[in-house]
Structure 1
Amino acid sequence: MASNHCLILLNLMDFKPINRKVLRFEEVWTTIPASIVVVKNSWEKKVSGDPSQAINQKLKRILRNLYYWSKAKFKSLNLSKVEPKSEVLRLQELETADGLILDQLQWELKIKLEELNSVMTRLDTWWKQRSKVKWIVEGDSNSKFFQAYASGRRNGNFIHKIRERVPFA
Structure 2
Amino acid sequence: MGDFNDMLSADDKRGGTTQPPWLIRGFKEAVQDSGLIDLPMEGYPFTWTKGRRALNPTEERLDRALATQRWLDEFPYFKFKEQELNHVVSEAWNKEGHAPLLSKIKNCTEDLEVWGARLRSRFTRSIREYREEMEQNQDSSNDLCVRKYQEAREKLSKVLKQEEEYWKQRSKIHWLRDGDSNTKFFHAMASARRRRNHITKLSNNDGDLVHDQSGMCNIAKEYFDNLFQQGDK
Which has the higher Rg, Structure 1 or Structure 2?
1
Shorter-normalised TM-score: what interval? 0.3 to 0.5
- Larger RCO (alpha carbons 8 Å, 6+ apart): 1
Whose strand proportion is higher, 1 or 2?
A: 2
TM-score (norm 1): 0.46
